[in-house]
Structure 1
């Protein structure tokens, strides 16, 4: 039994990994803390103080870091990190700790003061830039004392983003050298962006091709994104507004991916060469806009999901490969090469962020995306230049073809001119011959014209006589029409007619409207609004508009036909039938005669009966013509 307990103790001891003490001597100018150099403690309550975590109760609760770099896997928790450094002798050179990830919101360092106590200092992306130890994009903490022996350093970290906790110990000389080199590299990178932008702006102004404008917007978005994630933008553009750090990289990343896809469409002529891929790109642009608006107005924490940019990056890369490989479009080869380097830089960056970059040099892993963007910009410029060369070559070829065609046209013109000269001579001779013949014919025609003039004089006399007879006939026709109308009116007033006979008197809407207008304004027009007596025609035939107040009175207004829903000539006939039968005709009979639904006839018949009762005295003794007295709502005085 004791043997098995001994074995278990041995195995558990082998499975433990103790924190490694980092030894620093005067020859070491820089040390990056990795793996078991760092112990960590997760504070899910965010309430632990420095005195609590340095007490004996928490001494054994720190865990050895299992990753290449420590991470804050639970972003709602605070993390405490502990490192141990052993100096072989008192160091005379000033040193400091540096944290690389510029998106870290809050870092608090506890540095031994040499007297058994600790000095606290704070940094982070949530604080204004001027509160940092140095005017540098990273976070630095000064080591106050570096005496011989072992020292323990504590760091408290809290961040809404998932960050790599990269801790570096550097001497001041090394820090200055590194910083100068780094900022010189940034100057080179952003300087190239400015140069590329200015060059393409000149090209856009020269040739007015939209692809240059989209390329400028794309590389400016790249520059703003790189400045945002590197901390350069915070340092130089909004040092007193740290809240903008939470939006800047997300906004610039949206414009970067959007303008990248638009530039891809424009450069590779995707709409013409690959319409289906063009539709897919438009869909992705639309979805990316929706996601951007959700991040901007609903939850800006979603800006952290940068991995979605893999989708537009892959689509642009695939589009370039397809158009180059399948459609043999030569400028796409540089486009594909540029996106290959960007794609590779993106993959290396993801590997570096996930902590799997053990065998990748630190600078390459950290700046892989920047290198990818730089190479992509170079090769995209080559792609644009290659496109311009191809267009120039086509233009030169077209110019040569035009010159050649102009030469052919000139030769053809000379040949045609010669043929035309010969034909003109022949035609001139023919015309002269024809002229002689025409002269002889003209003499004959003149003789014939004299005969025709005599005949025309006789015809004019006959025409005058015919015209006089037509005038007499026209007067007879007018009299005949008037007689027919009088007979029809008399017949209407004398007997009960069927609808076809009645329609001869009132065949259409205009004849009915004219009858109503004559009745309404028999004694003159007076505006019902302002009592003005002057009017002009309205928008509808037979309406009258007041010239003073512009009120337009309908011909149906103030008649029983106002708001009428059946044809006006049928409404006339219905009134006529009701009056002729003295209201005794049934609605069924009316429906049969007029061809309107019985229910509608009943409504109208009821209305007319009521009016007939009200105007019994007015229509008494009027005969068959009395039906027209029912039309107006009130009989004018």
Structure 2
């Protein structure tokens, strides 16, 4: 703090001072400026209207001595609005207020600048003896240089002598600054500061609580909209801390250069994460593809503008009105999606309604629209709207989760209902098969009874038996053929049941008890059997004559000696698990339509889960490739359609 007596100012002499006082007195009557008196009956007073005057310094080079000169001192004019601003960002502005000091006051007094975003404030306070005391303030200076460790700029008022003093403030800022100057008692300042920091604690506490809760939800359900919502909330919190001056006080007190563009980085985060949150919450890529492309385009343009501001001219960060574009697009998107019937969007629209009200209110205040100042509520209107928006956006996320849960429950009920229908169908099929087996058994018993009666009759009539020997032998042959056909039919019925029904591994093993039975089945499928006719053809040369190969049921070409194993060019090729278990795994995958898990397969077959997963994936691919063939298959073909794996065939 520097003391500057009036006679120490270069070029200033007592006669000149008398002339200056005379001119000021003349112009004071012509353009009177009201003087504010210090009084204990009023704890605070805000300078408005004709209580604060200003002078624009377009060159930025005026000194206090020049300002006190009659030529410039008479050019101070009353503020056109209650809150004057630096309309021309390239100019320096001088503000003047007058205070009538009252040494009989029992309180200490301070002058406070509300706008903590001002870059540079040089205050010239009268000392009551014709001199001035200079003090520099502003957010481009380290925080420790402040007279009070508070987010705003405070200046002590000496009040030991009764006099009318003129206070001059030289203000320079790269962004629009409000010259909100308040005269306060220290007691009122402390009370106000405590109340304000308490409100800040509630607001930023809510931001952290909402962010932490949604972060936990993201880690639990892995829904990306939770993560975007957390980043959006943190960006809002950082922006509010930059605007309130809390970030400078607590986060980077020794880095004042950050104050010039930190808020711009936070605003960029708000725009980008808000738009990304809108896209993921409202499914714009499906429900509104055109709006989704518009949102992506705005994100790209906003990123380019951010890069220009960051690397070319940081003063462009002060054009905060550009944030109205992402806000308007997100708001319109919510309304559009809601009108299309997506109910979770209603909370989204409600939240952005409050946020839009806050932005519009702030914009109208910047344009000095009268009738919109409601005291403390006005100052914190945007913060209040941010809180309301956070609450309703949380409701929107919760509503979306509720809708997804409802759809999931409905799908599960449909699956359970279908499983019950499948169970009934399976029981019906088993009942029919049992009835057929019972009928065949009854026929066999009837035939056996006839044979027994005939044998008894033949025993009693030995003579007739001898004569009818040939006939009986013929009948026995016929009966043997019937038994063979019956046995074959029983086996076929069992095989058909294995092909199309769910059986356990024990029953399945009765049909394919060992490797030889499995290989025999594969050989019949590939080349046919002796009874059904042979259609062997060498894959190398096309020759159709063969010899038995080296491995069981393999065939070696009689012409080129190409030896083809029975599992070559089947789904069991290169399979290292027992062939009968591989058969059963194909059967289980087919009967469950690929829905059985690898853990269940491992439990049933006593095979490692990883092996089951790898082989089951291979079977699923074949089922997917042959879904049309399977759908059009005849009854009884069953899982055998999956055996010949054409993907293994060579050209």
Which residue pairs with 1:253 in the alignment? 267
CA distance in 1, matches of 2:38, 2:49: 17
CA distance in 1, matches of 2:131, 2:292: 65
Give a deviation string over 1:75-112, Cα, whole Å, max 9, x none.
Answer: 22211111112356632211111111122110011112
CA distance in 1, matches of 2:480, 2:362: 96
Q: CA deviation at 1:392?
A: 2.0
CA distance in 2, matches of 1:209, 1:365: 36
- Is this contact kept in 1: 2:101–2:159, CA < 8 A? no
Q: CA deviation at 1:199?
A: 0.5
Give a deviation string over 1:283-320, Cα, whole Å, max 9, x none.
Answer: 11111111111111122121111111100000000000
Which residue pairs with 2:425 in the alignment? 412
Number of residue pairs matched? 428
Which residue pairs with 2:358 in the alignment? 345
SS in 1 for 2:125: strand
Q: CA deviation at 1:435?
A: 6.6
Map 1:296-445 → 2, pairs under 5 A: 296-325=310-339, 327-426=340-439, 436=481
CA gap 1:95/1:88 in 2 versus in 1, 3 angstroms: closer
CA distance in 2, matches of 1:129, 1:258: 31
Give a deviation string over 1:335-378, Cα, whole Å, max 9, x none.
Answer: 00100110000111112223325542132222221111111001
- Is this contact kept in 2: 1:91–1:146, CA < 8 A? no
- Is this contact kept in 2: 1:284–1:312, CA < 8 A? yes
Larger Rg: 1
- Is this contact kept in 2: 1:109–1:155, CA < 8 A? yes
Give a deviation string over 1:595-629, Cα, whole Å, max 9, x none.
Answer: xxxxxxxxxxxxxxxxxxxxxxxxxxxxxxxxxxx
- Of the three residues 146, 149, 174, the one matched with 1:160 is 174
Which residue pairs with 1:108 in the alignment? 122
Which residue pairs with 2:194 in the alignment? 180
Give a deviation string over 1:496-531, Cα, whole Å, max 9, x none.
Answer: xxxxxxxxxxxxxxxxxxxxxxxxxxxxxxxxxxxx
- Is this contact kept in 2: 1:164–1:353, CA < 8 A? no
- Is this contact kept in 2: 1:68–1:356, CA < 8 A? no
Q: CA RMSD in A?
A: 2.5
Q: CA deviation at 1:201?
A: 1.1
- Is this contact kept in 1: 2:102–2:159, CA < 8 A? no
Map 1:260-279 → 2, pairs under 5 A: 260-279=274-293
Residue 214 (str. 1) matches residue 231 (str. 2): no
- Is this contact kept in 2: 1:338–1:377, CA < 8 A? yes
Which residue pairs with 1:559 in the alignment? none
Which residue pairs with 1:227 in the alignment? 241
CA distance in 2, matches of 1:148, 1:246: 40
Residue 289 (str. 1) matches residue 303 (str. 2): yes
CA distance in 1, matches of 2:161, 2:360: 43
SS in 2 for 1:109: strand
Q: CA deviation at 1:22?
A: 2.3
CA distance in 1, matches of 2:90, 2:262: 22
CA distance in 2, matches of 1:82, 1:146: 21
CA distance in 1, matches of 2:372, 2:183: 21
Which residue pairs with 1:55 in the alignment? 69
- Is this contact kept in 1: 2:38–2:105, CA < 8 A? no
SS in 1 for 2:362: helix
- Is this contact kept in 2: 1:320–1:335, CA < 8 A? yes
Given the two structures, how large is their TM-score scaled by the length of structure 2? Answer: 0.63
SS in 2 for 1:157: strand
Map 1:489-508 → 2, pairs under 5 A: none
CA distance in 1, matches of 2:32, 2:407: 71
Give a deviation string over 1:264-284, Cα, whole Å, max 9, x none.
Answer: 010111111111111111111
Which residue pairs with 2:132 in the alignment? 118
Q: CA deviation at 1:215?
A: 0.6
CA gap 1:214/1:439 in 2 versus in 1, 3 angstroms: closer
| Structure 1: gaps spanning 5 or more residues | 1-12, 441-448, 450-462, 464-637
CA gap 1:43/1:407 in 2 versus in 1, 3 angstroms: same
Which residue pairs with 1:629 in the alignment? none
Moved more, 396-405 or 338-347: 396-405
Q: CA deviation at 1:147?
A: 4.0
Which residue pairs with 1:237 in the alignment? 251
SS in 1 for 2:426: helix
- Of the three residues 171, 182, 189, the one matched with 2:203 is 189
CA distance in 2, matches of 1:172, 1:60: 33
CA distance in 1, matches of 2:322, 2:220: 36
SS in 2 for 1:25: coil
CA distance in 1, matches of 2:160, 2:375: 27
- Is this contact kept in 2: 1:105–1:126, CA < 8 A? yes
Which residue pairs with 1:202 in the alignment? 216
Q: CA deviation at 1:428?
A: 6.8
Residue 138 (str. 1) matches residue 183 (str. 2): no
| Superposition misfits of 4+ residues, deviation over 4 angstroms | 426-435, 437-440
Given the two structures, how large is their TM-score scaled by the length of structure 1? Answer: 0.64
Q: CA deviation at 1:238?
A: 0.9
CA distance in 1, matches of 2:162, 2:149: 30
- Is this contact kept in 1: 2:102–2:160, CA < 8 A? no
SS in 2 for 1:371: helix
CA distance in 2, matches of 1:269, 1:344: 25
- Is this contact kept in 1: 2:128–2:165, CA < 8 A? no
CA distance in 2, matches of 1:428, 1:148: 127
Which residue pairs with 2:40 in the alignment? 26
